[in-house]
Amino acid sequence: MSKSNNTPLSVVVDNGDEQSGAVEPIDLDNSAYYENRELSYLEFNQRVLEQARNTNHPLLERLVFLLIFSSNLDEFFEIRVSGLKKQMGFGRQRPGPDGKYPDQVLKTIHGQVKTVLEEQYRILNEDLFPSLAAENIRFLARHEWNEDLINWTQEYFREQVLPVISPLGLDPAHPFPRLVNKSLNFILSLEGKDAFGRESGLAIVPAPRALPRLIKIPRDIMPEGDNFIFLSSVIHAYVEEFFPGMNVTECHQFRVTRNSDLEMSNVEVEDVASALQGELHSRRFGAATKLEVGKGCPVELTDFLLERFDLTEDELFVLDGPVNLQRLFAVMSMVERPELRFPKFSAGLPRALEENSDIFASVEKEDQLLLHPYESFIPIIDWVRQAARDPAVVSIKQTLYRTNESSELVEALAEAARNGKEVTVVIELRARFDEEENIAFASILQEAGAVVVYGVMGYKTHAKMLLMVRRSGNKLKRYAHLGTGNYHLKNSKLYTDYSLLTADPTMCSDVHKVFQQITGMGKKIHPKFIIHAPFKLRKALMKMIDTEAQAALAGNEARIVAKINSLTDPAIIKALYMASQAGVKIDLIVRGICCLKPGIEGVSDNIRVVSVIGRFLEHSRVYYFHNNTHQVYCASADWMERNLSHRIEVCFPILKKKLANRIMEEMEMHLEDECQSWELQPDGVYRQLNQSGEECVGVQQRLLTKLGQA
């Protein structure tokens, strides 16, 4: 942190009493001032679940929030919980900044998750399912099947299910099978002997992933409304047909969640793509982290499963309903009930970037700023398409962290390569859960003639950059797109992100330097405008925070506003605490994890933290420093250790005052919101600002009205 011309902030906090002088320094390394990262994430996910209870949301959207909660929780166990378990297994337990050891955190996680899962299924069974049934969308349990439905399900089982399932009796010749991560399975108790005289007593029935977990009942069987049954119900109803002549005394569904964090050593890896493909298979069979069983499964069977998966009682979760809730997402494409969904909207399109316009000319005239999803992502795709077909364009460089299936951008880049452009694409193969797709995209681009690189070993390329070089007379001119989100069309309709399209020579030169550093080799670079990680971003942030602190100490206005996904970096948190002590007003819009504790007397009195949860996933990263040369920055980086130390990230200033002012207006809209916001309290608990539950207009709807086309 810059020492500037003042003593360090930790010893100059003045309580305003001339008699007392300087107060005793506060130990900002004290663990009491830091929230645990994993527990903060669980707080965020509970805010997501709370949306399933919110009757101001359309009914089917409430179901979506409930399923997103499940998806988030699965990934949390696959990555974060497995990481904690690994630390314990290696005997490398160390406390985090919050002072908690991994075993303490795991114990708290397991207790909290059991409670919140109970609440999730209560919401599903007592609220959402009855409300959906009132709207003629029914999920029928077996006791609700009439005679026609029983006959139909029996036929469905024999024609669609029985031929593809392989039941597994357990005996010395048939040991417990390796079951795929998050797959639906059944454990059975059997009585009697089979044709070979075997009498093991136990069997496993795995449900193949090819079978739909949710089955829509034909109209000729149930003509009224939309009616569904679960595959688990069908298997359970006719499971004895797998074991003719034997008696099934118990049948219970279960699902195991496994460690899915891929690990590749930097040592002796000659081909990242090949090494990664080898790791992808192992992900399906990683160490178990969570066992879920249906309610009613007897202790002897759950104990048997826990032993087989090497799990403890704490890691067992008993669910009052289907164990694979995420498969319920399928219902969204199986019913046509627009009145039960969020109203459709058309993303706005600035006049300068309208269809068939010359985007190069528009960007050359002035910088263009878009806020997705309120404004369309299509101009970025159209720009690459124009470049692919423009004879004056000589080269295109782009980073791809995540992109969508059958990506339009990949097609445009491949077309550009086939048309003789110099196309270089930095594909991050290790983008979690998109690895396989990214490998396929890399192959498509290479076959088209593009140069594909996989970034830098040990550092994920998380920066979002596009650079195009175009001939103008005898000169070459650069154009760039910089964003806070991914080049993913589907996500751009769900995630809020900023896009900057610019022809500023210095900014574009900086982008060129960053690309040269990623694709080639050389010494550190020194961009003029762009601040990039892992080299300078943390230092720059610390310096800008310090500048605000020194301004406040001098009696001048000082303010920091940041909109990020997560805040975990201890050094940044400590700097913010010191700035707060100096009198800087700090407003943080942190969607997810926040390890900083606001409102602590003498430490963070001047810090406010809010989290906005709504229809769209708040994803944009924006930083504002009142006394900095450039006040507003957009970035690909959150304020986390991994982003600042172990990823290639870019942070870029918004040079045009008009655009910077617009971003700040939109940030203030988030800070003023009392409809979709939750405020973090000093004890780490979030308080919903709209306590009344009355319908109100939130910031996302206001931005839709301002920027979108209703």
How far is the C-alpha of 236 from the C-alpha of 251, rounded, in Å? 7
How far is the C-alpha of 2 from the C-alpha of 329, rounded, in Å? 51
User: Which two tokens mark 566?
Assistant: 């997560």
Instruction: Report the SS3 class of residue 252.
Output: strand
Report which of 554, 543, 698, 691 is spatially closest to residue 612, judged by C-alpha positions: 698
Asked if omega into 598 is within 30° of 0 (cis), the reply is no
Report which of 163, 172, 165 is spatially closest to residue 202, judged by C-alpha positions: 172
Q: Answer whether 593's CB lies under 8 Å from 569's CB.
A: no
CA angle 52, 106, 53 (to 5 degrees): 10
Q: Answer whether 415's CB lies under 8 Å from 393's CB.
A: no
Count CB neighbours of 704 within 10 A: 22
Residue 584 CA: distances (Å) to CA of 64, 246, 605, 665, 685: 40, 74, 10, 20, 24
Q: Answer whether 646's CB lies under 8 Å from 590's CB.
A: no
Count CB neighbours of 35 within 10 A: 23
User: Which two tokens mark 241?
Assistant: 């047909």
Report which of 200, 170, 202, 174 is spatially closest to residue 188, judged by C-alpha positions: 202
How far is the C-alpha of 275 from the C-alpha of 281, rounded, in Å? 11
How far is the C-alpha of 77 from the C-alpha of 73, rounded, in Å? 6
Residue 285 CA: distances (Å) to CA of 177, 182, 261, 702: 11, 10, 11, 46
Question: Which residues are part of the catalytic machinery?
Answer: 462
User: Which two tokens mark 110?
Assistant: 């397991």
How far is the C-alpha of 80 from the C-alpha of 234, rounded, in Å? 34
Residue 346 backbone zone (phi > 0: left; psi -120 to 50: alpha; other: beta): beta
In 3-state terms, the chain is what percent helix, strand and coil (to 5)? 40, 20, 40
Instruction: Report the SS3 class of residue 469.
Output: strand
Q: Answer whether 305's CB lies under 8 Å from 185's CB.
A: no
How far is the C-alpha of 152 from the C-alpha of 155, rounded, in Å? 5
Strands across the sheet containing 168-169:
168-169, 202-206, 185-191, 247-258, 288-294, 316-319
520 contacts: CB under 8 Å, gap ≥ 6 = none
For 477-499, the three-class secondary structure string (H helix, E strand, C coil) is EEEEEEECCCCCHHHHCCEEEEE
Report which of 364, 353, 410 is spatially closest to residue 385, judged by C-alpha positions: 410
- DSSP-assigned letter for residue 24: P
Instruction: Report the SS3 class of residue 256.
Output: strand
**Which contacts of 327-333 are long-range, i.e. CB under 8 A and separated by 24 or more positions?**
327/212, 327/213, 327/214, 328/63, 328/67, 328/213, 328/214, 329/64, 329/67, 330/212, 330/213, 330/214, 331/60, 331/63, 331/137, 331/214, 331/228, 332/60, 332/64
Count CB neighbours of 388 within 10 A: 21
